[in-house]
Amino acid sequence: MDSTAEYLSLDEPTRSSHLWKYTPWRRIHPTGDITSIPDVGTPRLRLVGLDGGDAPEGIRLEKGVMSVSGLPEGDVVTGSFLQAASASSQWILRIEPGFSSQDPVVLDIDVKGSSSILHLSLDVGRLSELELITRVRGSGKWFGLLRTGEIGAGAVLNDVVVCLQDEGTLLRVDSIAIGRDAQVRAGTVSSGSERTKADLRYRMGEPGGNLRVLGSILSVDSMHIDHHVEIYHDAPETFSRLTWNSACGGDSRTVGTGMLRVADGSRGADAAQIFHNLLLSADAEADSIPELEVLEHEVVGCGHGTANGPIDEDQVFYLESRGFDPSEARSALIAAFLNSTLSEMGSDSLHDWLVELLNSELRTPDA
């Protein structure tokens, strides 16, 4: 059955499903008519260096889609919908084996018009080293981003997705297989789109994989930002950490759900997930639900936790005693909170770039 037929055969997912508890599919679908797969446009793509110049040789965009075995099982509704709708907007980001770049590379995705979609296949060659920033921006009303792919054996990848869509809805699905001994930092920075639904899945099916999933989320006004992160340890000696920081202001809502699965036979797996929510107003709401499913007894550790709270008034007083006015103190504390995860996403140059971006976003939040 092709993806179109598969999608059309499905029932609407209900709120009893972990994935759809907080954000119904009907609200995320491009038209709201979930029985349709509408025609959608393609975004403009540009692969450049951090300074806006040409990307280095050894990394390129090609038309097409890559078939990858060992991808994590994803949600069938969004998976089949995005595959069907993106049939004419498929690109492969190919990184040659052994490729190495000291400077981050930026994949700019400019979304315009009523709706657009992209299926991006990541082909990260073995033993390559790269910092990749995928930046989504523009005034599009609806954007669907499906990222599938494989991180080759021994590769070192800092993969940061920055979501800065001016308005509208973002539907994002990642389905990434992590190769043997690969080291991956998967960062998400989000302070855009009115509605975001993201389902990020990583499968460590080879021994020695090392994954850090990091989120810096800023929701303001009446944004609704929902991320589900699922990490599947399916091989021995695999390591993962999920740290997700959300600052939630206005009457916005953030949702962070995590699923940490350790398959039988994944001896020596070491996994943990933590969600922190900083509530910036009385009307803001944050929900975090970390879950574990551990089928292997001989693990180093598997833990999870969540913490919610407002800005710490003692921290505010400390900064005010150093001359920060109340607004500066508040902004500095929000930035610090988000920076705790931002600073872990990659190199100093990547971090500096992200901090500048964050500061520009913080200049006008209605928090």
Partner 1 sequence: MAMGHGESDIEALLEIRNLHAGIDDTQILKGIDLSIAPGEIHAIMGRNGSGKTTAANIIMGHPDFEVEEGELLLSGENLLELEPWERAREGVFLSFQYPQAVPGLQVGNFLRKSVASIRGEEAAKGADFRRELNEAMDTLKIPRNFLSRYVNDGFSGGEKKRFEILQLLLLKPKLAILDETDSGLDIDGIKTVAAGINAAVRGTDSGALIITHYSRILEHVQPDKIHVLIGGQIVATGGPELATQLEERGYEWLDSKAEVEGIA
Which residues in this chain contact partner 1 in the complex, by CB under 8 A?
Answer: 312-315, 317-326, 328-329, 332-333, 335-340, 342-343
Distance, CA of 74 to CA of 80 (rounded, Å): 10
Residue 279 pairs in a beta bridge with 248, 310
Please say which residue, 172 or 330, places its beta carbon nearer to partner 1: 330
Strands of the 156-165 sheet, one edge to the other: 44-49, 105-111, 129-138, 156-165, 183-190, 210-219, 239-248, 270-279, 301-310
In the complex, the smallest distance separating the C-beta of residue 226 from partner 1, rounded to whole angstroms, is 24
In the complex, the smallest distance separating the C-beta of residue 329 from partner 1, rounded to whole angstroms, is 8
In the complex, the smallest distance separating the C-beta of residue 323 from partner 1, rounded to whole angstroms, is 3
Residue 346, CA atoms < 13 Å, CB-side half-sphere: 28
Distance, CA of 119 to CA of 196 (rounded, Å): 17
Distance, CA of 336 to CA of 245 (rounded, Å): 11
Please say which residue, 19 or 278, places its beta carbon nearer to partner 1: 278
In the complex, the smallest distance separating the C-beta of residue 351 from partner 1, rounded to whole angstroms, is 10
In the complex, the smallest distance separating the C-beta of residue 363 from partner 1, rounded to whole angstroms, is 15
* The two three-digit tokens of residue 143, written as one number: 């954007």
Please say which residue, 332 or 357, places its beta carbon nearer to partner 1: 332
How many C-beta atoms surround the C-beta of residue 146 within 10 A? Answer: 25
In the complex, the smallest distance separating the C-beta of residue 216 from partner 1, rounded to whole angstroms, is 10
Please say which residue, 36 or 318, places its beta carbon nearer to partner 1: 318
Please say which residue, 77 or 329, places its beta carbon nearer to partner 1: 329
Please say which residue, 124 or 162, places its beta carbon nearer to partner 1: 162
In the complex, the smallest distance separating the C-beta of residue 311 from partner 1, rounded to whole angstroms, is 11
Please say which residue, 117 or 342, places its beta carbon nearer to partner 1: 342
How many C-beta atoms surround the C-beta of residue 123 within 10 A? Answer: 18
Strands of the 169-178 sheet, one edge to the other: 59-63, 90-95, 116-124, 142-151, 169-178, 195-204, 224-233, 253-262, 285-294
